């Protein structure tokens, strides 16, 4: 059911990010493109089809088309801001430069006209410069985002393994991280937690309220983790913590600490009902020779048997 709701959410159209505070940037970009087309048609002499160079037409037209697609993708996937503005303006300049190059393949302009050569020589380099500035600020932005994602990801990023409700890594991401620890031959521990009575919350208050509870639990656990630990959502209400470099004693202490934190969580539903559920925990040291999936299944089984 969760996967279906996530799929339906992904299918909904996303709003386009503004560029320089303007939402109708596509219309503003279309105006110079139409104006350039009119200028070439009014001032130039059409080339015979035999003079058309299809390699240049396909190359320049295809590059302009790709710049337009990249521009649309950026506005769909990013919020507004300095980085988005620089990226979009750079792509818009490249698009216009390629548009001029493409029109030049169909019309001869008089030798007294210089603005087409000027546009061809400046728009694409200007766009590349804006993209470079955008990449510089994007690098700084990524550093800040990496700090925010501390305890949610480590070593590598994979959006396809991200849980849509809690924004934590899922079981596949966790297994990949355990495999990395095994490859480095480094000791570590796994800790799994869940809530007693979670099924009744979903049944009595609905899935939306159960999702809100899971989000609250994830935030609470993140606040109580060591900076080197990784929190993932394994399945349903089961969360798993990867503790690299830790032994069984450290895992036992952390399990007690996190279980007590869950016991103190007082979640208030939208209807005003106060929910306070008890936490369960189970832990195990990472086995370097056992497949990660089997270790997680064994830990989940141990958690179910916890009184």
CB distance 98 to 61 below 8 Å:
yes
Q: How far is residue 104's CA from residue 37's CA, in Å, rounded to a whole number?
A: 10
Q: How far is residue 154's CA from residue 226's CA, in Å, rounded to a whole number?
A: 13
Whole-Å CA distances, 134 to 21, 130, 207, 249: 17, 6, 41, 47
The residues with which 108 forms a beta bridge, in sequence order, are: 45
- Which two tokens mark 253? 């202490």
pLDDT digits (tens, 9 = 90+) for 77-93: 888 889 999 999 999 99
Query: Please, which residues have CB within 8 angstroms of residue 177's CB and are 6 or more apart in sequence?
Result: 154, 155, 169, 230, 232, 242
pLDDT of 15: 81
pLDDT of 125: 94
pLDDT of 164: 82
The mean pLDDT of 154-162, rounded to a whole number, is 67
Side-chain-facing half-sphere of 118: CA atoms under 13 Å:
5
Question: Whole-number mean pLDDT of the chain?
Answer: 86
Residue 266 backbone phi and psi in degrees, to 5: -115, 100
Q: How far is residue 191's CA from residue 222's CA, in Å, rounded to a whole number?
A: 13
Q: How confident is the model at residue 154 (pLDDT cuts 50, 70, 90)?
A: low
Q: How confident is the model at residue 12 (pLDDT cuts 50, 70, 90)?
A: low
CB distance 90 to 131 below 8 Å:
yes
Instruction: Tell whether the model's pLDDT for residue 68 goes beyond 50.
Output: yes
Q: How far is residue 256's CA from residue 7's CA, in Å, rounded to a whole number?
A: 37
pLDDT digits (tens, 9 = 90+) for 272-293: 778 778 899 999 999 988 999 9
Q: How confident is the model at residue 155 (pLDDT cuts 50, 70, 90)?
A: low
Count the neighbouring beta carbons within 10 Å of the beta carbon of residue 189.
23
- Is the CA virtual torsion 122, 123, 128, 133 positive or negative? positive
pLDDT of 186: 86
Residue 79 backbone phi and psi in degrees, to 5: -80, 170
CB distance 263 to 278 below 8 Å:
yes
CB distance 200 to 294 below 8 Å:
no
pLDDT of 226: 87
More confident residue, 29 or 268: 29
pTM: 0.66
- Which two tokens mark 44? 């130039």
Q: Is 235 helix (H, G, I), strand (E, B) or coil?
A: strand
Helix ranges, 224-291 (H): 248-263
pLDDT of 248: 84
Q: How confident is the model at residue 2 (pLDDT cuts 50, 70, 90)?
A: very low
pLDDT of 158: 64
- Which two tokens mark 23? 């939402």
């Amino acid at each position: 059911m969760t996967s279906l709701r996530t799929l339906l959410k992904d299918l909904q159209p996303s709003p386009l990010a503004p560029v320089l505070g303007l939402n109708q940037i596509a219309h503003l970009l279309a105006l110079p493109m139409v104006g350039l087309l009119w200028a070439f048609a009014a001032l130039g002499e059409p080339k015979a089809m035999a003079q058309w160079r299809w390699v240049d037409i396909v190359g320049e037209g295809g590059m302009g088309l790709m710049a337009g697609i990249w521009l649309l993708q950026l506005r769909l996937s990013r919020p507004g801001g300095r980085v988005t503005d620089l990226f979009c303006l750079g792509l818009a300049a490249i698009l216009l430069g390629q548009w001029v190059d493409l029109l030049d393949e169909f019309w001869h302009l008089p030798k007294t006209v210089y603005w087409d050569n000027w546009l061809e020589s400046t728009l694409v380099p200007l766009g590349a410069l804006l993209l470079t500035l955008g990449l510089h600020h994007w690098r700084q932005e990524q550093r800040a985002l990496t700090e925010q994602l501390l305890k949610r990801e480590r070593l590598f990023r994979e959006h396809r393994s991200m849980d849509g409700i809690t924004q934590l890594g899922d079981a596949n991401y966790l297994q990949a991280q355990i495999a990395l620890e095994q490859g480095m031959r480094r000791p570590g521990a796994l800790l799994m937690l869940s809530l007693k009575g979670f099924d009744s919350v979903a049944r009595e208050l609905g899935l939306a309220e159960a999702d809100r509870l899971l989000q609250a639990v994830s935030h609470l656990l993140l606040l109580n983790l060591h900076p080197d630990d990784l929190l993932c959502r394994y399945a349903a209400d089961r969360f798993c913590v990867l503790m690299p470099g830790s032994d069984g004693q450290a895992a036992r202490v952390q399990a007690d600490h996190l279980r007590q934190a869950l016991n103190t969580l007082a979640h208030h539903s939208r209807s005003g009902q106060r929910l306070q559920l008890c936490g369960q925990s189970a832990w195990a040291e990472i086995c370097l020779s056992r497949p990660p999936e089997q270790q997680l299944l064994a830990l989940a089984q141990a958690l179910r048997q916890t009184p």
